[in-house]
């Protein structure tokens, strides 16, 4: 095992991680960034990003993330391929093991930007039509289906929010709910049921997303009570059954909610452990957008910089 001491370690290479890297490297903190298994993060799985400010014509997701990386490297961020597989935040400096213990890093400050992963139903057809009608984000992709009929799968608050968001821009939204009730809060359920162009299909499960060379053209669903099958014409299929934050390795050290989203002191990126900062989707169950991830990445770097400055002052004072 090799060992190394760094000032700032950034875990993750999505918009949050690279933004933290840009700020930390320009502040002279010489950050080391590990990309994890998905270099560039979630946006590398989408073609068109149209809501990130500064790109009036939109931008291709993978290209945007190459630009993020280049900008971080321009200020000498040390970008490395590798996965953080274990941490120990019980002492100081903090310890992070890379690639199953091959490398141990001790860091004065750690910025977590490990993101979250959208859950899918597990159908082969979801993969076939990914980026061609299947999406896990209505705010991101709903606009591409403006004026067309769409479907949403799910029964929680996210599904209810996605359905009502889409109902503003699409003539018809089919909402497929597996049971005969929704898990969403009462107020969200009421909103769904009061929206005229949302049709809730109770006890309904998706068997297959159907399509052709143009992308999704429909969905085949089955009523799990009666066995009745239906083909419904849609152009967009939105899966809203939840996300899993990539935070398992921090369990036992960092405060998180029941789903695993990291808890921060409101208005900051500070976690319950001094010198560990949480940014991006890993700490955001509400917004989950590239621009908000980048925003909190910036906060992570500024919080880390202020923490390190205060720590140095403490040391100077102690020396007398
Ligand atoms: C298909 C799709 C389309 C989208 N479209 C849009 C859009 O148009 N506009 C928009 O604003 N948002 C969009 N989003 C949402 C957006 O991608 C996310 O909000 C954003 O990427 C979150 O950034 P992040 O930096 O927090 O994490 P992520 O982008 O999720 O990146 C997480 C990073 O952490 C790394 N990582 C994870 N675990 C470890 C580990 N243990 N060690 C080291 N590294 C690790 C991963 O490899 C990855 O690099 C879309 C999402 C998807 C899935």
Does a cis peptide bond (omega within 30 degrees of 0) precede residue 166? no
CB atoms within 10 A of CB 92: 13
For the chain, which residues make up each domain, given as ranges?
Answer: 2-117+243-319, 120-239
Q: Who's near 4: CB < 8 A, 6+ residues apart?
A: 103, 104, 105, 106
Task: Return the exposure string of 52-72: e unless at least 16 CB atoms fall within 10 Å of the residue's CB, then b.
Answer: beeeeeebebbebbeebbebb
Count of residues in the chain: 320
3-state secondary structure 246-282: CCHHHCCCCCECCCCCECCCCCCCECCCCCEEECHHH
Say if residues 235 and 216 touch (Cβ distance below 8 Å): yes
Please give the distance, rounded to the nearest whole angstrom, from the Cα atom of residue 261 to the centre of ligand 1.
Answer: 14
> Which phi-psi region, left, alpha or beta, contains residue 275 (left: φ > 0; alpha: ψ -120 to 50)?
left
Q: Is the CB of 290 under 6 A from ligand 1?
A: yes
User: Alpha carbon of 232 to those of 28, 36, 81: distances in Å?
Assistant: 56, 39, 44
Please give the distance, rounded to the nearest whole angstrom, from the Cα atom of residue 14 to the centre of ligand 1.
Answer: 5
Q: Who's near 303: CB < 8 A, 6+ residues apart?
A: 268, 269, 270, 277
Q: Is the CB of 45 under 6 A from ligand 1?
A: yes
Ligand 1, from 114, 253, 286: best to mutate by most atoms within 8 Å of Cβ? 114
User: Alpha carbon of 147 to those of 111, 169, 183: distances in Å?
Assistant: 41, 6, 28
The strand ranges marked E within 13-156 are 32-34, 48-49, 59-60, 78-80, 84-88, 94-98, 103-112, 116-118, 134-135, 150-153
CB atoms within 10 A of CB 139: 15
Tokens of 107: 């860091």
Vertex 14 angle, CA 10 and 19, to 5°: 65
Say if residues 203 and 225 touch (Cβ distance below 8 Å): yes
2-117+243-319 and 120-239 share one fold: yes
Vertex 279 angle, CA 292 and 87, to 5°: 160
Q: Report the C-alpha gap between 116 and 260 in whole angstroms.
A: 10
Nearest ligand 1 atom, CA 42: 29
Q: Is the CB of 278 under 6 A from ligand 1?
A: no
Kindly indicate whether the domain formed by 2-117+243-319 is annotated with CATH number 3.50.50.60. yes
Q: Which residues are catalytic?
A: 137, 140-141
pLDDT at 319: 85
Say if residues 272 and 257 touch (Cβ distance below 8 Å): no
Give 10-residue mean pLDDT values along the chain (320 residues). 96 98 98 97 91 95 97 98 98 96 96 96 96 94 97 95 97 97 93 97 97 96 97 97 96 97 98 98 95 98 98 88
Q: Is the CB of 12 under 6 A from ligand 1?
A: yes
Q: Is the CB of 204 under 6 A from ligand 1?
A: no
CATH number given to 120-239? 3.50.50.60
pLDDT at 47: 84
pLDDT at 148: 98
Ligand 1, from 22, 34, 43, 68: best to mutate by most atoms within 8 Å of Cβ? 43
pLDDT at 46: 87
């Amino acid at each position: 095992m090799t060992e190394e001491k760094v000032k700032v370690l950034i875990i993750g290479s999505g918009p949050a991680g690279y933004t933290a890297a840009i700020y930390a490297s320009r502040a002279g903190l010489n950050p080391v960034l590990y990309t994890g298994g998905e270099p560039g993060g979630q946006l590398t799985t989408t073609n068109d990003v149209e809501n990130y400010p500064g790109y009036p014509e939109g931008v291709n997701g993978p290209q945007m993330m190459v630009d993020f990386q280049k900008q971080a490297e321009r200020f000498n961020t040390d970008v490395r391929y590798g996965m953080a597989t274990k941490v120990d935040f019980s002492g100081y400096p903090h310890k992070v093991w890379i690639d199953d213990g091959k490398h141990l890093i001790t860091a004065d400050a750690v910025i977590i930007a490990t993101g979250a992963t959208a859950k899918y139903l597990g159908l082969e057809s979801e993969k076939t039509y990914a980026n061609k009608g299947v999406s896990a984000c209505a705010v991101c992709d709903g606009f591409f289906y403006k004026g067309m009929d769409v479907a949403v799968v799910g029964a929680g608050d996210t599904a209810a929010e996605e359905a009502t968001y889409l109902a503003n821009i699409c003539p018809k939204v089919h909402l497929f709910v597996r049971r005969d009730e929704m898990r969403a809060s009462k107020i969200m359920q009421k909103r769904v049921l009061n929206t005229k162009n949302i049709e809730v299909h109770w006890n309904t499960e998706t068997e297959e997303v159907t399509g052709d060379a143009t992308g999704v053209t429909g969905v085949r669903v089955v009523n799990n009570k009666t066995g009745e099958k239906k083909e419904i014409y849609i152009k967009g299929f939105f899966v809203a059954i939840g996300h899993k934050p990539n935070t398992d390795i921090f369990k036992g050290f960092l405060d998180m909610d029941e789903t695993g989203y990291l808890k921060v002191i409101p208005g900051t990126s500070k976690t319950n452990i001094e010198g560990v900062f949480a940014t991006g989707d890993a700490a955001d169950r509400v917004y989950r957008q590239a621009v908000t991830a980048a925003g909190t990445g910036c906060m992570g770097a500024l919080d880390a910089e202020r923490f390190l400055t205060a720590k140095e002052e403490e040391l100077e004072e102690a020396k007398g």
